[in-house]
Every structure is written in structure tokens, then in C-alpha cells.
Amino acid sequence: MQLAFYILSFIAVFAAVMVVLSDRPIVSGLFLLLCFTAISGLYITLSAPFIAAMQLVVYSGAIIVLFLFVLMLLNQHRESPSKRNRFVTFVSVLGGVLIGVFIYLTMLKSKILLSYTKMSAVGGMKNNVETIAGVMFKKYFIPFELISILLLAAMVAAVFLSKKRV
């Protein structure tokens, strides 16, 4: 399980870096897909198959398809290298590394890093869905419903705004 964690997290980080480094938008989108898929594998090592499946359905399945559709319609094959300013790149990398270090330091103090102790084989995956349902529909019922209404309103607004007036 530890080995699976190291392999999957290496793939995820590598893919995330390649999303930024690749100069073709479609390839960036596909690396993002690889990153999301590796993360769903990480969820499985944490005995959370429901979250893993949802990660695959929602992020890998729906959102990346949407990205790729837009990119394919724009038909932008290659980003021109002249648009890449060296100074901006340097500052961005520095900023990214700093933010990463701060997040790492924060996590060292929190309990999140210890989650690998909860890793277990497939046998430990019982009652996953029931637990999530209990939390969502009993403990946090009202916030959950409010979020659904908010999402619905956003969806209606998006359809309304993008519609052509005849």
C-alpha cells in the first residue's frame, strides 16, 4: 500500500507539473486527466472507493471532457514560445515553490499527513456509501440542500446568459 501511494503520488505530481510545462493545450488537458485519475487511485489506497469512483465520474469523466471539447473547438494547436516571458516564468515558479513549502509546513502540524495509517486492503471498504449518506443527509442536511439550490441557480443563470436572444 505504501508502494502504491508513492507510485500514484509521483504520477499525480508529475502530471500536474506537465500540465503547466506542456505547450500544447490538448496535451495539458490530457495530463490533467492523468493527474485526476492518479488521485482517484490514491483515494482507493485510503479505503474510500466511493470518493474514488466519484472522482473518476465527475472530474475525469465530465469536467476534462468539457475542457477538451472547448480546446478542440478553439483548434489552438501550439502555444507560441514568444508569449513566454522568462521573468514571469521565474517569478511564477518561485511563487509556486513558496506556496508549496508553506502548505507542506502547515500540513506537518495538522493531522492530515497521518492519513496513510488509515490505509488498508480492499476488505476494509465496508459501509463507505452509508457513512457518507449519513453525514450528508443527516448531519449536514441543510447546508447540503442549500449548495444544491445554489448550483441549480448558477446553472439556470449560465444557460440564460449563453442563450442567444432572438
Partner 1 sequence: MMEGLLNPQTFMVFKVVVVFVAVLTLVALATWAERRGAAFIQDRVGPNRVALFGKIRIFGLGQPLADGLKLFFKEDVLPLNVDRVLYTIAPVISFIPATMTFAAIPFGKPFVKNGIQYFLSILPPDTNIGVLYIFALAGMGVYGIIIGGWASNNKWSILGAMRASAQVISYELAMTLAVVGVVISAGSLRLDRIIEAQNGLWNIVPQFIGAIVFFVSMFAETNRLPFDFAEGESEIIGYHTEYMSMKFSMFFLAEYANMITASGLFVTLYLGGWHFPILDSTVIGSVVAFVIKLLFVLWCFIWVRWTLPRFRYDQLMRLGWKVMLPLSLINLVIVALFYAYGG
Provide, rounded to whole angstroms, the least separation between the CB of residue 110 and partner 1.
28
Task: Count the alpha carbons within 13 Å of 140 in the hemisphere toward its beta carbon.
Answer: 10
Options 16, 26, 46, 119; binder of partner 1; rule CB under 8 A = 26
The interface region with partner 1, picked from 48-56, 89-97, 105-113, 158-166 by CB under 8 A, is 48-56
Examine residue 14 and tell whether it contacts partner 1 (CB under 8 A): no
Dihedral, 38, 67, 16, 113 alpha carbons, nearest 10:
-60
Examine residue 125 and tell whether it contacts partner 1 (CB under 8 A): yes
CB of 126 within 8 A of CB of 8? no
Provide, rounded to whole angstroms, the least separation between the CB of residue 101 and partner 1.
33
CB of 64 within 8 A of CB of 29? yes
Distances (CA, A) of 166 to 105, 118, 156, 162: 56, 57, 18, 12
Applying CB under 8 A, the residues found at the interface with partner 1 are 26-27, 30, 33, 37, 40, 49-50, 52-54, 56-57, 60-62, 64-65, 68-69, 72, 122-123, 125-129
